[in-house]
């Protein structure tokens, strides 16, 4: 029930990724319809429902300039669970957040100053800047934008062929 489901606006524009559980709620409430489905089914006492892969909202929703909350989860999503110093991919539980400019030197907790970092690189860096520690950032940290969100949808969509026609590959 935690598989990703692509959510489209009424205009077929991709706007979000949600879990099957939430997608099923939207379908049952009549707020959305399934555009693509898996072979699997979810059973209730009276009905069997196909598990959706892509759903479309029935009414157009104006999506304001999207901004994401600054959180550990969103930093790891933006950095794709990749240590920004050694470039290795880790499970979330094996990553920390690192302040590029240490907090002890006035560095703030912001999109531009936080990066995903493995424990080893974080310990090597310590209370220094990357330059002082002899480390180089893989990518300059940036805020999570609509473009970032669409890129993540495409990455997730590689696992599900049904998403491709909606994500403009």
pLDDT digit string (tens) for 36-59? 998 888 888 888 999 999 999 999
Q: What is the mean pLDDT of the chain?
A: 88
For residue 167, pLDDT over 70 is answered with yes
Could you tell me the CA-to-CA distances from 62 to 9, 59, 163 in Å, in that order? 9, 10, 22
What is the mean pLDDT of the segment spanning 31-35? 97
Which SS3 state, helix, strand or coil, does residue 58 take?
Answer: coil
Predicted local confidence at residue 148, as pLDDT? 61
Q: Where are the domains of the chain?
A: 4-65+146-167, 72-133
Which pLDDT score, from 0 to 100, does residue 73 have? 85
Q: What pLDDT, in 10s, does the model give residues 131-144?
A: 999 999 999 998 87
CA distances for 135 relative to 85, 108, 126, angstroms: 6, 20, 11
With a cut of 90, say whether residue 27 has pLDDT above it: yes
Predicted confidence band of residue 154 (pLDDT cuts 50, 70, 90): low
Read off the pTM.
0.58
Fold of 72-133: DNA Binding (I), subunit A (1.10.30)
């Amino acid at each position: 029930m935690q598989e990703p489901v692509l959510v489209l606006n009424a205009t077929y524009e991709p706007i979000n990724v949600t879990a099957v559980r939430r997608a099923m709620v939207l379908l049952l409430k009549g707020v959305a319809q399934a555009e693509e489905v898996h072979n699997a089914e979810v059973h209730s006492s009276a009905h069997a429902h196909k598990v959706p892969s892509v759903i479309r909202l029935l009414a157009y929703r104006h999506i304001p300039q999207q901004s994401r909350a600054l959180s550990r989860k969103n930093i790891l999503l933006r950095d794709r669970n990749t240590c920004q110093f050694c470039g290795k991919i880790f499970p979330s539980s094996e990553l920390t957040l690192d302040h590029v400019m240490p907090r002890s030197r006035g560095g703030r907790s912001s999109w531009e100053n936080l990066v995903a970092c493995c424990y080893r690189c974080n310990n090597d860096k310590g209370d220094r800047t990357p330059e002082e520690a002899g480390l180089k950032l893989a990518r300059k940290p940036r805020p999570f934008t609509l473009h970032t969100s669409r890129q993540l949808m495409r990455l997730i969509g590689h696992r599900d062929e049904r998403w491709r026609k909606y994500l403009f590959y």
